[in-house]
């Protein structure tokens, strides 16, 4: 297996595992918790490594996962005190644990500077080196760093399959979940545990930046495309795969960190959907507002014509050569609205007097 293919497979497994589990926290408007966990697991990694002196030890994963769950619990504790908001609680907890971890990594006393736990790898990872160690399983030789992401991916898929109904209800209506007998707290901490495990595995390979972008970006992007949960999961996976492939090409072509390329691609794809989404994108909203503004001017002209039709002042108010000042429009603006209304057969001209047609009345009643 070539180095490039190995890196892509590792990144794909990590991206899919991260995005599908992160989607449910995004649905619950808890994206900041993802950001917090993806950073605070470093504290658990560092503490676990200092205890066992082996970064590949299961105890390191266990310590980092416990730190992620502890982060969630501590944030919940601060929120329940009702003295601090959710975002403020997150902003207090995660910088505290993350900064302690950075201090431990940077301290000469811990002797971590010469290991693969260093400030550079914390933020951008070392996925470029992930394909070096290979293992042979039967006739197949694969990177050893691919195994854990695949295991986590399978666990996440199994969890979502088993608890899909519970996750759906808890994500959209916590009160209903309680009425139906589900425990939102149990689902929350199971989800938090899986997010922590996924973050730990991804953290060592791709760094904090990519963990956050992969857990939040694809899901947030997919939710702007569809609101159906099953379709959202599918679109999330498609977007995650696309981001990885394009990000890898960017990193490889420009000789840049691949995790950074994937994170940048994730942001670009998100912004493209924000701007160009045909359902609720910025561009379509601008177009709709302009069209609505245009439509309201047409309706205003139709109302004015209708109000003064057959009145004593109709020759002054709705005559073709006198209506412009009565509407308080400029000539250019009136010409555009007039031509549009004529083309749509909303108005007609009789003896230089404007009249509303039946089609015009129907159009006016649609907006009034």
Domains detected in the chain: 3-279 (1.10.3470.10), 283-367 (1.10.10)
Average pLDDT of the residues of the chain: 89
Arithmetic mean of pLDDT, 303-319: 90
Among 240, 180, 199, smallest CA distance to 72 is for 199
State phi, psi for 148 to the nearest 5 degrees. -60, -45
In the three-class reduction of DSSP (H, G, I as helix; E, B as strand; rest coil), residue 350 is classed as strand
Axis-axis angle for helices 147-162, 164-172 (nearest 10):
70
Give, in order, the Cα–Cα distances in Å from 319 to each of 287, 324, 326: 32, 9, 10
pLDDT at 357 over 80: yes
CB 208 within 8 A of CB 39: yes
Please determine, for residue 52, whether its predicted confidence score (pLDDT) is greater than 80: yes
Most confident option among 160-164, 289-293, 308-312, 363-367: 160-164
pLDDT of residue 293: 85
Question: How much is the average pLDDT of 303-311?
Answer: 91
Any idea which of 1-10, 82-91, 175-184, 310-319 has the lowest mean pLDDT? 175-184
**pLDDT tens-digit readout, 3-41:** 889 999 999 999 999 999 999 999 998 888 998 998 899
Residue 22 has a pLDDT of 95
Q: Phi/psi of residue 69, each to 5°?
A: -65, -40
Give residue 160's pLDDT: 96
How far CA 330 is from CA of 14, 294, 298, 302, 340, in Å, comes to 60, 14, 14, 17, 16
Give percent of the chain with pLDDT exceeding 70: 98
Q: Token pair for residue 83? A: 């003295």
In the predicted structure, residue 315 carries a pLDDT above the cut 70: yes
Residue 144 has pLDDT above 70, yes or no: yes
Residues in the chain: 368
Distances (CA, A) of 303 to 22, 298, 347: 52, 9, 11
Q: Is the overall model pTM greater than 0.85, yes or no?
A: no
Say how far apart CA 130 and CA 224 lie, in whole Å. Answer: 33
Residue 114 clears pLDDT 80, i.e. is over it: no
pLDDT in tens, 121-136: 777 777 888 888 888 8
Q: Where are the beta strands (DSSP E) in the chain?
A: 134-137, 140-143, 347-350, 353-356
- pLDDT exceeding 90 applies to what percent of the chain? 57
pLDDT at 115: 66
**Residue 174: pLDDT band by 50, 70, 90 thresholds?**
confident
Q: What average pLDDT does this structure show over 83-108?
A: 89
- Segment 263-268 mean pLDDT: 95
């Amino acid at each position: 297996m070539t180095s490039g293919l190995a890196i892509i497979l590792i990144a794909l497994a990590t991206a899919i595992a991260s995005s599908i589990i992160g989607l449910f926290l995004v649905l619950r408007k808890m994206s900041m918790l993802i950001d917090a966990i993806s950073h605070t697991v470093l504290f658990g990694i560092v503490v676990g490594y200092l205890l066992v002196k082996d970064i590949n030890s299961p105890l390191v994963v266990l310590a980092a996962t416990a730190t992620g769950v502890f982060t969630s619990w501590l944030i919940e504790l601060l929120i329940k005190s009702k003295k601090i908001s959710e975002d403020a609680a997150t902003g207090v907890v995660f910088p505290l644990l993350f900064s302690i971890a950075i201090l431990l990594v940077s301290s000469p006393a811990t002797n971590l500077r010469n290991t693969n736990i260093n400030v550079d790898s914390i933020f951008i990872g070392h996925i470029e080196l992930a394909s070096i160690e290979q293992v042979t399983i039967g006739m197949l030789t694969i990177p050893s760093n691919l195994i854990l992401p695949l295991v986590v991916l399978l666990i996440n898929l199994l969890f979502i399959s088993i608890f899909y109904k519970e996750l759906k209800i808890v994500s959209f209506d916590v009160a209903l979940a309680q009425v139906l007998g589900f425990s939102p707290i149990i689902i929350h901490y199971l989800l938090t545990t899986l997010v922590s495990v996924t973050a730990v595995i991804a953290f060592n390979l791709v760094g904090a930046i990519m963990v956050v972008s992969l857990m939040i970006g694809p899901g947030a992007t997919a939710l702007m495309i569809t609101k159906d949960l099953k379709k959202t999961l599918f679109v999330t996976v498609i977007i995650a795969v696309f981001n990885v492939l394009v990000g890898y090409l960017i990193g490889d072509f420009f000789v840049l960190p691949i995790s950074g390329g994937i994170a940048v691609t994730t942001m670009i794809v998100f912004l493209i959907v924000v701007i160009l989404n045909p359902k609720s994108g910025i561009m379509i909203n601008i177009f709709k507002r302009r069209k609505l503004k245009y439509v309201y001017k047409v309706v205003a002209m139709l109302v004015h014509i209708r109000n003064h039709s057959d009145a004593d002042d109709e020759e002054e108010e709705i005559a073709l050569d006198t209506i412009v000042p009565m509407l308080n429009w400029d000539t250019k603006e009136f010409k555009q609205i007039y031509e549009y209304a004529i083309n749509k057969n909303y108005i007609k001209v009789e003896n230089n007097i404007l009249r509303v047609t039946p089609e015009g009345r129907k159009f006016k009643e649609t907006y009034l």
